[in-house]
Structure formats: C-alpha cells, structure tokens
Amino acid sequence: MNNQLLNPMLLDEQPLPQVLSSLEQSHFHQQPARDLNFFLDVRESLMRRPVVDAERECMIRALIVIARACFAAATPRHGLIAMARAEAVAADLPDSDLKRQLCTVKGALCIELGDFSNAFESHARALELARALANRESVARSIVNLAALFVDYGAYWDTLKLGEIVLAMHREQPLESVTLAAALNNMTEACLATQQAERGIEYGSQVLLVSPTDEAPQRAQLCTAHALLARLHLLRGRVNAAEREMAAARTQAQSTGSSRARLKVAIASALIDHENGRLRQAVQSLKESLVLAGADSSLAKDAMSALITVYEKEGHPKLALKYLQRLSAMTERVNLDQARERLVVLGLADRDNMESAPTEAQTFSNDFRLQTATLQKKLIDSQVEVLERLAVAAEMRDDVTGMHCYRVGKWANLIALEMGLPTMEADTIEIAARLHDIGKVGVPDYILLKPEKLTPAEFDLMKRHTVLGARLLSRSKTPQIRMAEKVALTHHERWTGGGYPQGLTGEAIPLAGRITSVADVFDALLHERPYKHAWPVDEATLMIQTLSG
C-alpha cells in the first residue's frame, strides 16, 4: 500500500482510511520516510475528491496530518491550503475534538506566517472547544499554543504567566510529556529573549528530563530545548557548554526530519560560529536561514534577532539597525492589548492585575525603541569617530595635542546648557562643534603653520576651510553630521557682519554656529599657537565681550 502511494497517479484510487494510515505512519513515525512532495501530492488528491459523508472525518484527519507535515517542513502556506479544504469539509459538523484539532493546526500555521490575529482567534477557539469537551490535556495544549504566539511577538511577560498556568496544571495532575515540554520551551525562549540565562537554563533542562525520544514530536521538543540551552550558555560566555548542547541538538534535528527544527539549530549554530570568530560563516548561515524561513515567519524573526546580535557585537550598527527595523515592523502590527483583554475573558488573566502587566512586560520584553535608539547612537558614534580622526589629523598640524576640537565641543556643550537648551540638543551641538575645523585638512601647511600674518591671498585660502569642511560633511542623513555641516560653514561668521564665507549677520547665522564660534575663539585664545602666545582667562573673556557686537 505504501509503495502504491508513491505513484501520484494512483492516489485518487486509494481508500481514504488507507491514505490516512500511510500519512500518519509517514509523518508521526517516518516509516517509510517521506519528503514534502509526498504530502502535497496527497493534498492535491484530497482536494479533487468528492466529499462523502461516511468519509468526512477521515478526510479531515488526513488534511490535518498534511498541514502538520507542512508546518514541520517550514512551509505554512501549503499547510493553510489543506486547512481551508478541511474547514470546508467540517463546516456543518457539530463541535468536536476534531474541530479543536483543526483550530490548533491552523493557529500554528498562522503563527508561522506572522498572522497574529487569526492565530490568536484559532487558538482561543481551540481552548473554548477543549473546555466544552472537558478535555484537560487539550486545554493545556491550547494554553501552550497561546504562549507560543505571545513569545513570537515579544510579549514575554504573558508567555511566562501562561507557562506558569500549565505548570500548575501539571503539578495538580501530570500532563503528557510533549505538552509539558512545549510549555517549558516557551518559557525557556522567553528567558532567552529577556537574558534571564539561569532561569532559562532551569526550564530548558527540565525539557530534557521529561521528553522521551521515541516519537518525532518529542524529538522536536528536545531539539528545540538543546538549541535554546546552547544560546543561553552563550549569554554567560560558556562556549564549551553551548557546543555540547549544539551537538545534541544536531543529533535530534537529524532524527526528527523537521525542517523547522533544523532551522532553529542552524540559527543557534551560527551564533556559536560568531562566538568562535567565524563571522563570515555565521552571517552567511543566518542569511540562508532567513531566506529558508520566509519573510514573515516566527523563524524569520529568530534569524533577524540573531543577525542583530552579531552585527551589533561586530560594530556594524547600520546593518543591525536595518534588521531591527524590519523586526520591529513585524511586531508592531499586533494589538497585544486587545489579545490580553481576551485572555481575561478566557480566564487566563486577572483583570485586577492587568494594570501591572505593561510594567512587567516592559521589564521582560525587548524594548524596540530603546534598542533602536542604542543602535542609532552607535551608528552615529561610528560615523563621527571617522570624521573626528580626520579633524584631529588636521588640527595636530598647528596644535600638537590635537585636543582643540574636543575642547571646543565641550565648551559649546556647556554654553548651550547655560543658555537653557535641552540636553539632547546640547549634546548634538557638542558633536558638531568637534568637527568645526575638519576643512583644515585641505589647507596647505605653509599657510596653517605660518608664524607671521597671512597675506590677503593666503587668508583667502585659509577661509576656504569653512566651505571645504561643509562639503566633507554634506549629504549625511545623520542629524548630528547635518548640524556639523552648518557649523563648519558658519563658525567664522560674525553677528555684526564681516565674517566669512557668506558674510551672514545676526540670527541668519545658525545658533550652533554662533555657539561654536564663541567656544572656538575662547579656546584658541587660551592656548599657544605658532602665531600667538596663550592668553590669560580674564583677557580672553574681555576679548570675547569686546567682539560680541
């Protein structure tokens, strides 16, 4: 019978019970092993078959097995096609455990496709059916599935709370090992995301104790647990322990036949490669995993999170920020507050405690805005660092310490704060002021280092450093560098006119340029240069007042 099923031309002729038996043997026990095409061929056969009342249940079960195989192969769209057919066949049937299974499988597929709303509704409906049928094990599995949904969208507080409900049910009366392992893996993943390494290792280690290895679902849970444990050990810098867990994860992945499990292992393995200095290999593996996972899947989120970690550690904030923005966009499409309200209706959350949930959620979850701001700062710092080195190189030709630009930045910051400007704006002015003389890199030494007064022609060449500096800093999208462009161009303008290069007056000169001008003159007066001695502070202050206009 199984050999006949290998021939797609004979599928339509096989009795449905035999088709179902072959599907179950192939998916749950891999006897004989099948690739995805086998399940898709059977799906197409079932799509063509007329619906016979006596065979309805058998057809629905067969379609559910196919959808599960598609889930394991990380091809959820194929699975949803099978689910649509199954739902149509089951439309006028009374509520039953079979309908609950339909909702459960559809919910899992929707999670993989990033469809939070349909995933949540499917798992919530499965929970309602399980309760109506008084099926305690199914109730627990539905709660586990809701927790898996929340962990994919960064609601780690909810994941841990739902996991605790399942653990309490298990303490009251033992649950099946696969249900318990799934709950523990959800909690382990929530701990990984929130960097609670020791707590996560405790949950992950329990999975290894409760999961037998004789069936594919249990092996998939074990594979996931080993991969998560490997990443948790990396958080603590325990590379050897992580590699031991990865060896076990790879063994389990090979025996499960699950593409999903293999992708989880590939992601964890790439992070270990990065830790061992194999950056190129790690990035290539993560990008391949991202392609295989599909654009909107939960596995894609995992791959993107790993890429963010790698790029951030390697000092590539621009690349890390790109993936963080994609990840944030996927997550922000979801109305978690509405889902939490539904949890209250389902009896899985206490309305009196709902007000405390956001605070705890902020504690436990990735704050995308904070992480984005951090990466943006790193990106700006890396860009400014390169420019500062160029500015210092120019400055050291007439200031052996090269510290003039840093001092001007600090003076400018203090002046801005004294004027009542916001701290963030004062910090931006400081960065911009540090780059005010970057254009001097294009001024010849014979002019820059000349101890005598410059001739008019030489002074014209000196004045060009303002325009050159602005050109060097132009076309940047970074606010700090855009401000630095204005400062470089205008820090030699004068309130009363007569400055250069544009001869601006009064408020036509940008405020940051005016502040930097004062800081620049003050610091230059206080320090020795080839063409002047250092002035006392009181004389420098008097000169600033005299030139104030």
How far from the centroid of its chain's Cα atoms is residue 180's Cα? Answer: 28
* Residue 272 pLDDT greater than 80, yes or no: yes
**Which residue shows structure tokens 């899947």?**
297
Please indicate whether residue 320 or residue 333 has the higher confidence score (pLDDT): 320
pLDDT tens for each residue of 452-487: 888 888 888 888 889 988 888 887 777 788 888 899
Q: Provide the pLDDT for residue 296.
A: 56
How far from the centroid of its chain's Cα atoms is residue 83's Cα? Answer: 30
Q: Provide the pLDDT for residue 253.
A: 83
Spatial contact of 48 and 19, defined as CB atoms under 8 Å apart: no
How far is it, in rounded angstroms, from Cα 2 to Cα 264? Answer: 31
How far is it, in rounded angstroms, from Cα 300 to Cα 326? Answer: 10
Q: Provide the pLDDT for residue 268.
A: 93
Side chain identity at residue 239, one-letter code: V
Q: Provide the pLDDT for residue 127.
A: 96
* Residue 246 pLDDT greater than 80, yes or no: yes
Calculate Rg over the CA atoms of the chain.
33
Nearest Cα neighbor of 64 from 94, 90, 91 is 90
Tell me what the mean pLDDT of segment 62-84 comes to: 91
Tell me what the mean pLDDT of segment 381-401 comes to: 61
* Residue 28 pLDDT greater than 80, yes or no: no
- Cα–Cα separations (whole angstroms), residue 494 to 409, 457, 490, 500, 521: 19, 21, 9, 8, 12
Q: Provide the pLDDT for residue 508.
A: 94
Query: CA torsion, points 225, 226, 231, 237, in degrees to nearest 10?
Result: 130
Spatial contact of 29 and 21, defined as CB atoms under 8 Å apart: no
pLDDT band at 336 (very low <50, low <70, confident <90, very high): confident
**Which residue shows structure tokens 């409760």?**
210
pLDDT tens for each residue of 371-381: 555 655 665 66
Q: Is 532 helix (H, G, I), strand (E, B) or coil?
A: strand
